[in-house]
A and B are shown apart, each in its own frame.
Chain A
Amino acid sequence: ETGVTQTPRHLVMGMTNKKSLKCEQHLGHNAMYWYKQSAKKPLELMFVYNFKEQTENNSVPSRFSPECPNSSHLFLHLHTLQPEDSALYLCASSQEVGGGGNQPQHFGDGTRLSIL
Chain B
Amino acid sequence: AQKVTQAQTEISVVEKEDVTLDCVYETRDTTYYLFWYKQPPSGELVFLIRRNSFDEQNEISGRYSWNFQKSTSSFNFTITASQVVDSAVYFCALRGGMDSSYKLIFGSGTRLLVRP
- List CB contacts (< 8 Å) of A36-76 with chain B: 41-43, 45, 48, 50, 55-56, 58
Interface string of A75-116 (1 = CB under 8 A from B): 000000000000010101010100111101111111010000
Provide the bound-state CA to CA distance between A88 and B42, in Å.
Answer: 11
Partner of B47, one of A96, A105, A108, A109: A105
**Chain A: interface residue count, which band?**
20 to 34
Is B97 a contact of A100 with CB atoms below 8 Å? yes
Q: Dominant SS at the B interface?
A: loop
Is A108 a contact of B44 with CB atoms below 8 Å? yes
Once A2-B44, A110-B43 are accepted as A-B contacts, the answer to whether A101 and B106 lie under 8 Å apart by CB is: no
The interface size of chain B toward A, counting residues with CB under 8 Å, comes to 27
Is B45 a contact of A90 with CB atoms below 8 Å? yes
Partner of B102, one of A31, A41, A43: A31
Once A2-B44, A112-B43 are accepted as A-B contacts, the answer to whether A102 and B97 lie under 8 Å apart by CB is: yes
Q: Name B residues whose Cβ lies closer than 8 Å to a Cβ of A.
A: 32-33, 35, 37, 42-47, 50, 52, 91, 95-104, 106-109
Q: Name A residues whose Cβ lies closer than 8 Å to a Cβ of B.
A: 2, 4, 31, 33, 41-43, 45, 48, 50, 55-56, 58, 88, 90, 92, 94, 96, 99-102, 104-110, 112
Nearest chain A CB to B77's CB is how many angstroms away?
Answer: 15
Is B33 a contact of A43 with CB atoms below 8 Å? no
Is B43 a contact of A109 with CB atoms below 8 Å? yes
Q: Which residues of A contact B107 (CB under 8 A)?
A: 42
Partner of A107, one of B44, B98, B102: B44
Is A106 a contact of B101 with CB atoms below 8 Å? no
Once A102-B50, A104-B50 are accepted as A-B contacts, the answer to whether A45 and B44 lie under 8 Å apart by CB is: no
Q: Which residues of A contact B32 (CB under 8 A)?
A: 101
Is A105 a contact of B104 with CB atoms below 8 Å? yes
Given A55-B102, A101-B99, 12 extra CB contacts under 8 A: A2-B44, A50-B102, A55-B101, A99-B99, A100-B97, A101-B96, A102-B95, A104-B35, A104-B50, A105-B104, A110-B43, A112-B43
